[in-house]
Amino acid sequence: MSEAKKHIPVMVEEVLQTLQPRPGQTILDMTVGAGGHFGLLADEIKGQANMVGIDRDPMCIEAAKKKFPESRFFHGSWTQALMDMDGLIKNIDGVLIDCGVSSMQLDQADRGFSFRFDAPLDMRMDTTQTQTARDLLHELTEEEIANVLYEYADEYRSRRIAKSIVNASKQNKLNTTFDLVDAVTQAVGKRRGKTHPATKTFQAIRIKLNQEIQELENALAYLVKHLHKGARIVVITFHSLEDRVVKNIFRDYDRQKKVIRLNKKAIQATRDEYLQNPRARSAKVRGVEVIDAKMDKK
Ligand SMILES: C[S@@+](CC[C@H](N)C(=O)[O-])C[C@H]1O[C@@H](n2cnc3c(N)ncnc32)[C@H](O)[C@@H]1O
């Protein structure tokens, strides 16, 4: 795993204040990544052995197993890995979900997440998954691609871009990240402002390929149903669609008296933090405590 640019965990203070991990507790980190938050949480609960980790990226899991040999790890998407955890879920006192891709995934050129590098059009968080972004774009119709761009990235030029993507694909010119950048710029022109014209297209395709929104909805529903009373869930999101999903789910469960929201307004990073770590600029933290559960902690 390339560590060229070190992954700095975001909003550490805010996560700890909301999750309140204590010595002796068991904590589940559902997004191990480079293990930044994982290590900090292990310190708070004073023991790696009570840390459980999930990630769908096999390389993250391999690295984490070496770094935290006493902890337990599950490889897979949340939907799968939570099932694999089975009875262990009832021991969990706190859960952290730090959404999206990690900086290692973005900086590893051959993963195809970034339009900064020319690489195969891949974008799989889980490299054992068969379908890549290239496969997905060759399978979807023009209308479906436009809907993905609009739904997952609010791309208002979605139809123009989708048409250009399909044209590129018909000419067998849709195999690499730079091919996708070309398809976008042919549709909407080159960069004018600060943001690269392909930013939203890359985001939308990544979200669709990795089923990020469905995964988040399923995982939160499962956790609220299976965690014991008093357990906490903290989620860090990085774009408005993700935050809206978390906000609405937490609000609905709060109304149903299944959870209590620990903060009604999302907590954002301080200026100091995002000046040091630009990734924190769009980060939002929300947390809940489970109040209605089938089981109380023994
Ligand atoms: C933002 S990074 C986490 C970084 C980590 N908190 C740290 O401090 O190093 C998100 C990680 O979650 C994983 N991930 C995202 N969605 C997932 C899902 N639905 N199931 C399993 N893992 C997922 C990604 O593979 C990535 O490694």
pLDDT digits (tens, 9 = 90+) for 61-111: 999 999 999 999 999 999 999 999 988 999 999 999 999 999 889 989 999
**Separation between Cα atoms, residue 89 and residue 166, nearest integer Å:** 44
The CA-atom distances, in angstroms, between 122 and each of 31, 174, 219, 250 are: 20, 11, 24, 33
**Separation between Cα atoms, residue 145 and residue 126, nearest integer Å:** 22
**Separation between Cα atoms, residue 122 and residue 105, nearest integer Å:** 11
The residue whose CA has the least distance to atom 5 of ligand 1 is: 33
Q: Give pLDDT, residue 193.
A: 76
Please give the number of the atom of ligand 1 that sits closest to the Cα of 31: 12
Report the residue among 5, 7, 32, 273 best suited for mutation to probe ligand 1: largest number of ligand atoms under 8 A from its CB: 32
Distance 198 CA to ligand 1 centre (A): 23
If DSSP states are collapsed to H, E and C, what string results for 158-174? HHHHHHHHHHHHHCCCC
Residue from 148, 141, 277 nearest 200 by CA? 148
The CA-atom distances, in angstroms, between 134 and each of 138, 173, 197, 202 are: 6, 11, 19, 12
Name the pLDDT band for 8 (thresholds 50, 70, 90): confident
**Separation between Cα atoms, residue 136 and residue 118, nearest integer Å:** 19
Cβ count near 122 (within 10 Å): 18
Average pLDDT over residues 195-207: 95
pLDDT digits (tens, 9 = 90+) for 9-18: 999 999 999 9
Please give the number of the atom of ligand 1 that sits closest to the Cα of 96: 6
* Residue 183 Cβ < 6 Å to ligand 1: no
The CA-atom distances, in angstroms, between 142 and each of 11, 77, 161, 167 are: 39, 28, 9, 9
pLDDT digits (tens, 9 = 90+) for 252-286: 999 999 999 999 899 999 999 999 988 899 999 99
CA atoms within a 13 Å half-sphere pointing along the CA-CB vector of 98: 28
Whole-model pTM? 0.95
Q: Give pLDDT, residue 258.
A: 96
* Residue 78 Cβ < 6 Å to ligand 1: yes
Tell me what the pLDDT averaged over the chain comes to.
94
pLDDT digits (tens, 9 = 90+) for 138-195: 999 999 999 999 999 999 999 999 999 999 999 999 999 999 999 999 999 887 777 8
Question: Which token pair is 251?
Answer: 């609000």
Residue from 98, 105, 99, 103 nearest 126 by CA? 105
Distance of CA 84 to the CA centre of its chain: 20
Cβ–Cβ < 8 Å for 168, 179: yes
Residue from 165, 124, 121 nearest 143 by CA? 165
Question: Which token pair is 115?
Answer: 């339009």
Q: Which domains does the chain have, with CATH numbers?
A: 12-104+212-290 (3.40.50.150), 127-209 (1.10.150.170)
Given a cut of 80, whether residue 3 has pLDDT beyond it is no
